[in-house]
Amino acid sequence: MTAFATASLGSATAVGTVTLEGAYYNYNTDNVFDVAPGFGGAGPTANVGGITEGKAFLLGADYMFPDKVGYGYVQPAFRYQEFDAHLTSVVTRQYDFGINYIIDGHNARVSADYAKVMTTGSSDDMFVLGVQLQI
């Protein structure tokens, strides 16, 4: 099940645009691991192209400011994701905080994102820069 909504607050040119998204996933593998334990050094929840049994959800919110800055619009973004792997009791949570510079809708944008990933027993920080161009 996935839900996605974009709403303008009043006139999009006057107040800005809010985008909300959410998704819930239930991965059922009948209690079978996607790879054999230790196969190729992979852990039981390693993403090696298969699926791991568990439940996951995603929540996200973006706000695009109404005024152009240079060639485009500034859009702060937030995402929260969680995956609970049933067979291993490993829970992974990820918080993403980012800023997008929207130049031409989906055709051109630049992004900078900070992510905090917390898995049972460990924690990592990431910083990602991205450019999206579509011809």
The yes-or-no verdict on residue 79 having pLDDT over 80 is yes
Q: What is the pLDDT of residue 97?
A: 97
Query: Which range (21-35, 39-53, 63-77, 89-103) has the least confidence?
Result: 39-53
Task: Read off the DSSP letter of residue 43.
Answer: -
Q: 87: closest CA among 31, 28, 47?
A: 31
pTM equals: 0.75
The radius of gyration computed from the CA coordinates of the chain, to the nearest angstrom, equals: 18
